[in-house]
Structure 1
């Protein structure tokens, strides 16, 4: 017979009761049944754990060691059980959302917080798509907002699924509001990438998304090789360079939070650079059953961010025309 936790509890209870009869009453079993069980436990331990007398039982040397170790083990097991239960309770009411820096992230988080079953939303901002997928696969994230560029299609790990939030999101160029090309294209709202051949570019550091490969390919198709003079993951730094006329940059059409009256955006003619946005989730996550709802939240958050960007763009046009 293998010794199990229930056997350790019996040993401790008999020692605390001081007699098999009293322990049987506490356990609400018959005394003969408990006596037989105690014999089997002692056989498994390889020796007597208690000395019997007419007045009760007393632990032997082996019994004292067994009782002490059993108490310690049971305390650890009870603590483990309580800790895991507490963690499960917290995690079951929390959602861990990851993704690259983009305006819809905050909109998704806001909608999750408004969900009746969600008590906490944690955000993990990460540029690397492969890192986000690893975090989903390992269970560190429940959901992640991902970007996918043509020719660099994502390979989802086993246990990770995804839905499309936006089939094709075009890249926009952001320029200083008084930039000659911003003025020249004010009414049209689009700009030919080729006219920016002499510009210095500010971009995010190279990553594994495929964006930088496609950006350089688009520029070469337009007849030039881009001069990327500055890299920054801090959008305020990027906007500082653009505002001061030190360069131009590519942004998403939902980047309204980065914009000020000192800069403006233009769509690129021919849509040479675009991406697909996806929401991915771990099928092992306790929140996997919410995937359909969270996908809808992500679509709504994106539509809201896009509409706000368009509204601010129209407002900027009116300001500059005036």
Structure 2
């Protein structure tokens, strides 16, 4: 047997976990299988990599050497794979307009209109999509070259997903509204104090980040603790509202439909920023300015389709599309 990259990953996983059992769970292996793998690796290396005692395991001097080399080699190989993927996706012609473009999104109401503008402006380009609830997952896919741009949302002033090397542009900031049944006692209100909903069950679409904590903090400032926050898909959220089982936190661009109404919350206790991210050395990086412009148009389209939100934005230049009343913010992850 020859030493392979997967063997180095195993050694790193065991060292990071501090025990065979924890490492096996992390790697999705049975403990006996991982022990056997580690024994084979030690035979190839010609010595014991880890010492075992009652407190766990620790690297031997040989293990320290292997770990030091592995922690240099594995990121270098991952970087090479990402660069190769970006180069291959560009057809080996960095700087050219790519024949294909993949857009990731965790913000559904912008993706559809962005696709419309992209296919209109670049009719010969093949545009594909990748959707995930996780902004962190999408950022990782941009970093390793699987997608070219991604649109994500973050709560309030939270930073973009932590993924070194990516550049982010703020598309805009929205207030968070609440979706109520059409026959709810507050459905006709121009806006609703969060405290007036203290006895309600709550729902929201899922995602990573701090939104649930920010919601709990906003409720605390309003003088109550929410009984629950169901995280589920959009259809289930609407079903819960229609049935009167919960009120749902929603984006202000929510398209009106029978049986449910979106209502602003007094004082804007929660906000949501829309970001677009890309890798500055990716094959489509030359299109960044155009893609940002088209994403901005998609945002404008989305707002225009919501008379409620369009009216709410009057006199509130700090919300809505960035660059309309102020310059868009550029964020670079080091």
1:92 and 2:89 matched: no
Q: Which residue of 2 aligns with 1:274?
A: 271
What is the number of equivalent residue pairs in this alignment?
A: 222
Q: Which residue of 2 aligns with 1:220?
A: 220
Contact 1:93 1:117 in 2 (8 A): no
CA distance in 1 between partners of 2:270 and 2:215 (Å): 7
Q: Which residue of 1 aligns with 2:253?
A: 254
Secondary structure (helix, strand or coil) at the match of 1:202 reads strand
1:219/1:86 Cα in 2 relative to 1: closer, same or farther (>3 Å)?
closer
1:245/1:134 Cα in 2 relative to 1: closer, same or farther (>3 Å)?
same
Q: Which residue of 1 aligns with 2:137?
A: 131
Q: TM-score, normalised by structure 2?
A: 0.61
Write out per-residue CA displacement over residues 33-75 of structure 1, whole angstroms, 9 at most, x where no aligned residue.
Answer: xxxxxxxxxxxxxxxxxxxxxxxxxxxxxxxxxxxxxxxxxxx
CA distance in 1 between partners of 2:142 and 2:280 (Å): 9
1:109 and 2:96 matched: no
Contact 2:139 2:161 in 1 (8 A): no
Alignment of 1:146-165 (within 5 A): 146-150=152-156, 152-154=158-160, 156-165=162-171
1:294 and 2:299 matched: no
Contact 2:191 2:266 in 1 (8 A): yes
Q: Which residue of 2 aligns with 1:199?
A: 200
1:312/1:280 Cα in 2 relative to 1: closer, same or farther (>3 Å)?
closer
Write out per-residue CA displacement over residues 103-161 of structure 1, whole angstroms, 9 at most, x where no aligned residue.
Answer: 11111111111123642111111111111111110011100012222353125533311
Q: How far did 1:230 drift?
A: 3.2
Contact 2:179 2:250 in 1 (8 A): yes
CA distance in 2 between partners of 1:169 and 1:109 (Å): 21
Secondary structure (helix, strand or coil) at the match of 2:228 reads strand
Q: Which residue of 2 aligns with 1:190?
A: 191
Alignment of 1:11-90 (within 5 A): 88=91
1:173 and 2:174 matched: no
Q: Show structure 1 runs of 5+ residues with no match.
A: 1-83, 315-322
1:279/1:247 Cα in 2 relative to 1: closer, same or farther (>3 Å)?
same
CA distance in 1 between partners of 2:168 and 2:174 (Å): 17
Q: Which residue of 2 aligns with 1:243?
A: 242
CA distance in 2 between partners of 1:115 and 1:155 (Å): 29
CA distance in 2 between partners of 1:153 and 1:162 (Å): 10
CA distance in 2 between partners of 1:143 and 1:149 (Å): 20
CA distance in 1 between partners of 2:89 and 2:105 (Å): 27
Max radius of gyration: which structure? 1
Q: Show structure 2 runs of 5+ residues with no match.
A: 1-86, 312-334
Higher relative helix content? 1
1:118/1:211 Cα in 2 relative to 1: closer, same or farther (>3 Å)?
farther
CA distance in 1 between partners of 2:211 and 2:124 (Å): 34
